[in-house]
């Protein structure tokens, strides 16, 4: 909004030119997000206390559970508000990527809010039925998948040799001339492709996968792409939801992941860095750095109140939104194949539950009694059962998260 006011009305005052820079607007979004979450977070927590929006904790035999009883939940409202408001103020609102991310955050946040509302006010511990949660996640996945595949403004540019560039129409090729006389040819691709980590010439077009089933199958590439998007958003959203089990774990892990995605997004949206690192240049994607700055500030600000001992829990309102938004960011920046590495903490937490449930059902059917792989799932509860303190578990998980984020960034050059 601020950007559109300055540029739309041609306002000129000392320093007004800085609004053109994404780095400035991203920094301002981060600062404002921190201010909102820190200043207004306390008021929201008091309001939740007055409304008796407290967490009902099931007795799992874990240390510290009694103290958590009654702690305000629905704190995800702090994260959503502290992300949406700065984005509306500092981002270009005519950018399709910004619109998609705002929609994803509000959409999934609403689903989580309904789930929390049923648990708290309707006194139904089951919350929103799992079927409706999945329908909501699939719904936003379909919206993002179809938009990315068919929207004319969403495209990528990759450098190609002159010989290959001459085989395409002029309107699909951008010719860039450097000061030293070097000429670069960028091929405009509208069909979504992705990055294959650790591989030189590391691009994969989804149509080439469908081509394995014959030339005619390529026309149905959109089906494959949309299914992949739906699966990723659903899986990562649920992974973040499962990770939100002890103080500070989901918020801290998300902050690390978001920071890494911010670096990848800035590089992908900057033609100079993209060429230097030989990665896809995605026109317009750089604007997402403003949204990412706001989201990062919101996660850090929320962590101020969510760190052990937590004064507020994010609830499904925050965890479903965070997971879905992280997945959508990775998809838009064409790094979805890096999600198992970057979101390794979410993945392991998710897998621990799947393995525990599957093994229990199998052994109960085979041996007449269910057996467990872990003392308790998800994995962070396993370590609690082993006697580790919450803060130690969270710290070690975050250290692993930092290592995975650094390794993800190293893939830019490690091929």
**What sign for the dihedral angle of Cα 99, 104, 105, 111?**
positive
Cis peptide before 188 (omega within 30 of 0): no
Q: How many CA atoms lie within 13 A of 115 on its CB side?
A: 26
**Domain contains 217:** no
CA distance 358 to 328: 28
Q: What does the pLDDT read at residue 175? A: 73
DSSP tag of 216: G
3-state secondary structure (DSSP) of residue 380: helix
Alpha helical stretches, state H, 122-159: 130-150
- Find how far residue 387's CA is from the centre of its chain: 32
Residue 16 lies in a domain: no
As a whole number of angstroms, the distance between CA 321 and CA 330 comes to: 14
CA 246 to centroid of chain Cα atoms: 20
Query: How many angstroms separate the CA atoms of 147 and 162, rounded?
Result: 31
The answer to whether position 77 is within a domain reads yes
Residue 175, H or E segment: strand 173-177
Q: Is 166 inside any structural domain?
A: no
The answer to the question of residue 214 being in a domain is no
Quote the CA–CA distance of 188 and 158 in Å, as a whole number: 7
CB 156 within 8 A of CB 98: no
- Decide if 107 is inside a domain: yes
The answer for residues whose C-beta is within 8 angstroms of residue 297's C-beta and 6 or more apart is: 29, 30, 31, 32, 33, 34, 37, 82, 86
Query: What pLDDT digit, counting tens, does each position of 288-324 carry?
Result: 999 999 999 999 999 999 998 888 999 899 999 999 9
For residue 55, what pLDDT is reported? 62
CA distances for 171 relative to 155, 160, 185, 193, angstroms = 13, 15, 12, 19
3-state secondary structure at position 241: helix
Domain with 241 in it: 24-151+223-410
Model pLDDT, residue 196: 84
Tokens standing for 42?
Answer: 């306390």
Q: Three-state SS for 193?
A: strand
Cβ neighbours of residue 18 under 8 Å, at least 6 residues apart? 24
214: left (phi over 0), alpha (psi -120 to 50) or beta: left
Q: What's the domain count of the chain?
A: 1
Tell me what pLDDT residue 295 has: 97
Residue at 123 is within a domain: yes
Select from 220, 240, 157 the least CA-distant residue to 193: 157
Could you tell me if residue 178 is inside a domain? no
Task: Give the pLDDT of residue 203.
Answer: 76
Please give the average pLDDT of every successive group of 10 residues along the chain, which has 415 residues.
Answer: 65 69 92 94 86 63 61 90 95 94 96 90 81 94 94 76 67 69 70 79 78 80 93 95 91 96 94 85 92 97 92 92 96 94 95 94 90 91 91 95 95 82
């Amino acid at each position: 909004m601020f950007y559109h006011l300055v540029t739309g009305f041609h306002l000129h005052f000392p320093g007004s030119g800085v609004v053109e820079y994404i780095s400035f607007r991203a920094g301002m979004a981060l600062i404002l997000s921190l201010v909102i979450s820190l200043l207004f977070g306390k008021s929201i927590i008091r309001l939740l206390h007055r409304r008796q929006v407290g967490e009902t904790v099931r007795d799992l035999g874990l240390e510290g559970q009694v103290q958590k009883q009654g702690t305000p939940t629905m704190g995800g409202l702090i994260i959503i508000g502290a992300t949406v408001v700065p984005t509306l103020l500092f981002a270009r609102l005519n950018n399709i990527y910004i619109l998609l991310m705002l929609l994803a955050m509000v959409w999934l946040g609403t689903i989580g809010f309904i789930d929390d509302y049923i648990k708290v006010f309707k006194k139904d511990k089951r919350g929103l039925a799992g079927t409706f949660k999945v329908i909501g996640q699939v719904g936003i996945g379909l919206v993002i998948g179809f938009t990315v595949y068919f929207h004319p403004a969403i495209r990528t540019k990759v450098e190609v040799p002159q010989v290959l560039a001459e085989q395409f129409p002029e309107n699909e090729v951008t010719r860039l001339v450097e000061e030293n006389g070097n000429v670069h040819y960028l091929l405009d691709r509208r069909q979504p492709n992705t990055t294959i980590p650790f591989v030189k010439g590391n691009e994969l077009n989804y149509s080439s996968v469908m081509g394995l089933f014959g030339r005619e199958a390529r026309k149905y590439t959109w089906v494959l792409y949309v299914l992949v998007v739906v699966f990723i958003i659903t899986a990562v959203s649920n992974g973040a939801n499962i990770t939100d089990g002890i103080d500070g774990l989901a918020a801290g892990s998300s902050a690390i992941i978001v920071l890494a995605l911010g670096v990848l997004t800035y590089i992908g949206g900057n033609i100079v860095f993209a060429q230097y690192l030989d990665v896809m240049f995605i026109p317009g994607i750089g604007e997402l750095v403003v949204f990412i700055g706001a989201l990062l500030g919101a996660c850090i600000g929320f962590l101020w109140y969510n760190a052990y001992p937590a004064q507020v829990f994010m609830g499904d309102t925050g965890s479903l939104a965070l997971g879905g938004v992280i997945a959508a960011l990775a998809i838009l920046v064409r790094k979805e194949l890096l999600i198992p590495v970057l979101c390794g903490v979410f993945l392991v937490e998710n897998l621990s539950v799947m393995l525990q449930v599957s093994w229990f059902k199998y052994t109960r059917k085979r041996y007449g009694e269910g057996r467990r792989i872990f003392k308790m799932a998800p994995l962070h509860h396993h370590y609690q059962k082993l006697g580790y303190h919450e803060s130690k578990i969270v710290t070690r998980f975050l250290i692993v998260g930092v290592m995975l984020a650094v390794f993800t960034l190293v893939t830019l050059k490690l091929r």
